[in-house]
Amino acid sequence: MDTQQNTSQRLAQGKNILHRLMLLLALSVCAIGVMAQTMRVSGVVLKTDTKEPLVGVNVVDVSTDRLLTTTDMDGRFATNALANGKLRFTMVGAKAVTVKVNNRNFIEVLMEEDSKHLGEATVKAKRITNKVMPEQTTIEIVGNSAVIRTNVRMPVEMYSPQIRYVAQPVMWNITRGSYQLMRPLVYDASQYHSTQDRMYDFNMKEKDPLAPYISLHINNAKSETGNYFLIPYVDSVYFENGKDDYKCDFYQAMEDYTKILWRDTATIAKGTINPLRFLEYSLVGCDLAGEDYTPKPELQLRDTQGEIRLRFARGSSELNVKDGQNSEELGRLSQEMRTIASNPNMNLRAFTITGIASPDGPYRGNINLANRRMQSALNEILKYVSAEDRRRMEVKSNARVATWQEVVVLLRRDSLFDQANQVEEIINRHEDLDLQGRDIKRLSFYKQLEEEYLPQLRRVQYELNYSVFRQLTNEEIKELYKQDFRQLTKFEYYRLFNEEKNEGKREEYLRNAVNIYPRFVLAANQLAVAMIKKDAPELELLEKEAGEKAPYAVNLNHTIALLHHGRFSKADTLVAHLDPARPETRMVKAISDAFNGHFLEAYPVIAQTGDRNHVLILLAMKKNKEALELAQKLPDDKADNIYIRAICLNRLERSVEAEAALKKAIKMDPSLLKIAEIDGDVNSLLENKTK
């Protein structure tokens, strides 16, 4: 974690420094003036002839002579500038360009190379005297860190007491197409450094952005090609996915007090050393057990509706309990009440009753009659409810008078459309209910209405609405899920996925449960196990749950997901929370140790998983001779085995045999060519073939 934080801090500093390195001038910090009428301006700076993007171009406000920003790796820039102002674009080795903003949000700038300021590197025979040469190296992957170790060779002919040498190493992620800046390398010759210090009022640490990286000591060495100064360099960067592949470029330049003397870009590493890319392993997820994580049954409020139909004598508000229909309806209601009372999981919560009177007669008299009838019925019904339940439950009552429009509906139901239209015409003519009733009584067929249709409305209808707390059956849960899966409780989801045998349907239940209840640990863990089984672990499932206090299964399954996605450093941290006595821990820890560079700890377990993995862990430990001896025994029917043998041979400088093995492996499996091109163990063999 410290490595990751340090790298992040370096990157934050490096992004600002990179642009200055490409200019190769130590810029002083200018005071920021107050800007008025500013606007957002972005754009791109390109070479005039090739239209290639120019990196590190200085964008300066002409009116204040203040540096606003510099172009990035794609030649892009974005800044705030005066809407009617001017911007000057400068870069060492190119002719300065000044453009007017003219209220433009996007500006494309073309810059011509100024060759008189540049001393391009050239090669003279075998002895290079005018080019700084970083040594070719390889990138080692340790956990989620990509490590570079190299030496920069500066010919003595290029050295002067008045120079500054600056290099910005850039680590390119070939897999993702992204990059990260590494620690800059800055060498000041003695006289140059003293002069700079005086120029900054003896305060370079605060005013020179390159000050934290300046080195004043380099080693003098000698080779067959002549004398040179040796500048060592070691650094690493953190990447999110340790399975990615990388290359490393050095952006270099040398300056004196007035101009750029030389600049160049060199690729010092074209691939990664990572034999564990071929490691074969299979990890099994762990179910989460224990009552603490199993949701408890939740008694849910469910509404059930019932109807009872009670009959009253015309004009009477008293309910006749001796009437056959009334007796039957009250008996049914009584049985329903007793069922509720006898079930410990059911409690009567509310009771609503609605009485309806027919519309014949004065409205006020009808509504009063309906209310009295409802109260009479309510008194009889409540006799079937215990005193305790009556205290607990909420009782509501409603009364209304049926409308003449309801008579229209009954007539049309019986296909009496002419009569229905006549009644409806009166309804439309009068808003007052009493006036409607007066005119309807004058209709020729009113007696038919009075004898056949009004009794259907005069019969008082009651609705019984009561709510019960109870668990749903499996069938009810599935039906509710079909209607709206968001209604289900955790326990109901648990019932669904715990009893489902179809893996696809079970995964659907689990995923919806996690979406509705993000902290539903049991569902998230079981979904994680299912995805591990499909060799498709998901990082997000247990990311918020895993940690020191999390259950073993959660930490194990999240560790497997981290390893699958190349988050090796995070896996290494989480492994420490796994119970070492558990058999599942042994393999997961060994895989994590291997990818995090703890090879001695990983070796005993990895070596037992097969000869192929044994060879790979030996290569990771740089025990190349032992690795080759074992690799020679690997069967030749798999292209990967032959490829691994080529790595062993090449490390032992048996390049002819290594090249033949690599060629054979790629012929058997052409997809290995892409791996070989970025594999620091064998890509030199491809270069030899090209040459």
Please indicate whether residue 13 or residue 508 has the higher confidence score (pLDDT): 508
Q: What would the pLDDT profile of 59-103 be if each residue is shown by its tens digit?
A: 888 888 777 877 776 778 888 889 899 999 887 567 889 999 999
Q: Residue 507: inside a domain, yes or no?
A: no
Please indicate whether residue 298 or residue 106 has the higher confidence score (pLDDT): 106
- Which one, of 514, 479, 511, 478, lies nearest residue 496 by Cα? 478
CA separation for the pair 555, 576 (Å, rounded): 10
State which amino acid sits at residue 312.
Answer: F
pLDDT-based confidence at residue 345 (cuts at 50, 70, 90): low
Sign of CA dihedral 561, 566, 572, 574: negative
Residue ending a domain, among 83, 115, 147, is: 115
Percentage of the chain modeled with pLDDT above 70:
85
Q: Is residue 348 within 8 Å of residue 385, measured between CB atoms?
A: yes
pLDDT of 203 strictly over 80? no
pLDDT of 308 strictly over 50? yes
Instruction: Compute the average pLDDT of residues 507-532.
Output: 95
Q: Residue 382: inside a domain, yes or no?
A: yes
pLDDT at 156: 81
The alpha-helical segments, DSSP class H, found in 283-362 are: 324-342
Do residues 251 and 310 share a domain? no
* CATH number of the structural domain spanning residue 360: 3.30.1330.60
CA separation for the pair 393, 520 (Å, rounded): 34
- 188 token code pair: 């000041």
pLDDT at 122: 32
Q: Residue 614: inside a domain, yes or no?
A: no
Q: Residue 16: inside a domain, yes or no?
A: no
Domain count, the chain: 3
Do residues 185 and 155 share a domain? yes
pLDDT at 12: 46
* CATH number of the structural domain spanning residue 37: 2.60.40.1120
Count of beta carbons in the 10 Å neighbourhood of residue 515: 12
Do residues 253 and 148 share a domain? yes
Q: How far is CA 628 from CA 271, 351, 610, 646, 654, in A?
A: 22, 85, 15, 9, 11
- 487 token code pair: 């209604």
Instruction: Compute the average pLDDT of residues 188-217.
Output: 75
- Model pTM? 0.59
**Residue 168: phi, psi to the nearest 5?**
-115, 100
Which residue is it, tokens 């008194």?
379
Residue ending a domain, among 229, 254, 273, is: 273
pLDDT at 343: 74
pLDDT at 298: 67
pLDDT at 468: 57
- Residue 439 burial by CB count (10 A; 0-12/13-18/19+): exposed, middle or buried? middle
Instruction: Compute the average pLDDT of residues 315-343.
Output: 82
Three-point CA angle 285, 287, 291, nearest 5°: 160
pLDDT-based confidence at residue 469 (cuts at 50, 70, 90): low
pLDDT-based confidence at residue 192 (cuts at 50, 70, 90): confident
CB under 8 Å to 221, separation ≥6 — which residues? 153, 227, 228, 229, 230
Question: Which string of DSSP letters, residue by residue, matches 588-643?
Answer: HHHHHHHHTT-HHHHHHHHGGG-HHHHHHHHHHTT-HHHHHHHHTTS-TTSHHHHH
* CATH number of the structural domain spanning residue 188: 2.60.40.10
Write out the residue range of the structural domain in which residue 197 sits.
Answer: 133-273
Q: Residue 656: inside a domain, yes or no?
A: no
pLDDT-based confidence at residue 362 (cuts at 50, 70, 90): confident
pLDDT of 341 strictly over 80? no
- Which one, of 397, 393, 396, lies nearest residue 301 by Cα? 393
Do residues 249 and 309 share a domain? no
Do residues 313 and 416 share a domain? yes
Q: What would the pLDDT profile of 13-23 be if each residue is shown by its tens digit?
A: 544 444 444 44
Please indicate whether residue 361 or residue 404 has the higher confidence score (pLDDT): 404
Q: Is residue 513 within 8 Å of residue 270, measured between CB atoms?
A: no
Please indicate whether residue 8 or residue 30 has the higher confidence score (pLDDT): 8
Category of 177 on φ-ψ map: left (φ > 0), alpha (ψ -120 to 50) or beta: left
Q: What is the rounded average pLDDT for all residues in the chain?
A: 82
Q: What would the pLDDT profile of 242-279 be if each residue is shown by its tens digit?
A: 888 888 888 888 888 777 888 888 888 878 888 999 99
Do residues 267 and 359 share a domain? no
- 594 token code pair: 């291997």
Do residues 313 and 415 share a domain? yes
Mark 154-166 as b/e (b = at least 16 C-beta within 10 Å).
bbeebbeeebbbb
pLDDT at 225: 52
Across 65-74, 82-91, 116-125, 318-327, least confident range: 116-125
pLDDT at 312: 76
Q: What would the pLDDT profile of 480-496 be if each residue is shown by its tens digit?
A: 899 888 888 899 999 99
Q: Residue 550: inside a domain, yes or no?
A: no
pLDDT at 462: 58
Q: What is the DSSP letter of 113?
A: B
Q: What would the pLDDT profile of 592-614 be if each residue is shown by its tens digit?
A: 999 998 999 999 999 999 999 99
Instruction: Compute the average pLDDT of residues 171-188.
Output: 86
Do residues 216 and 186 share a domain? yes
pLDDT-based confidence at residue 157 (cuts at 50, 70, 90): confident
pLDDT-based confidence at residue 321 (cuts at 50, 70, 90): confident
Sign of CA dihedral 214, 220, 221, 225: positive
**Residue 153: phi, psi to the nearest 5?**
-105, 120
Do residues 334 and 238 share a domain? no
pLDDT at 524: 96
pLDDT at 198: 76
Percentage of the chain modeled with pLDDT above 90:
37
Q: Is residue 541 within 8 Å of residue 524, measured between CB atoms?
A: yes
Strands 350-357 and 394-401: parallel
**What Rg do the C-alpha atoms of the chain give, in angstroms?**
43
- Which one, of 497, 571, 486, lies nearest residue 527 by Cα? 497
pLDDT at 443: 93
pLDDT at 24: 41
SS3 of 95, please? strand
Do residues 205 and 73 share a domain? no
Q: Residue 370: inside a domain, yes or no?
A: yes
Instruction: Compute the average pLDDT of residues 277-285.
Output: 93
Q: Residue 170: inside a domain, yes or no?
A: yes
Do residues 183 and 258 share a domain? yes
Do residues 200 and 248 share a domain? yes
- 145 token code pair: 């860190």
Question: Which string of DSSP letters, residue by residue, matches 201-269?
Answer: TT-HHHH-TTGGGEE---EEEEETTEEEEEEEEEEEEE-S-TT--EEEEEEEEEE-SSSEEEEEEEEEE
CA separation for the pair 36, 57 (Å, rounded): 25
**Which three-class secondary structure string do you get for 10-72?**
HHHHHHHHHHHHHHCCCCCCCCCCCCCCEEEEEEEEEECCCCCECCCCEEEECCCCEEEEECC
- Residue 198 burial by CB count (10 A; 0-12/13-18/19+): exposed, middle or buried? exposed
Residue ending a domain, among 439, 470, 501, is: 470
CA separation for the pair 247, 268 (Å, rounded): 8
pLDDT at 306: 66
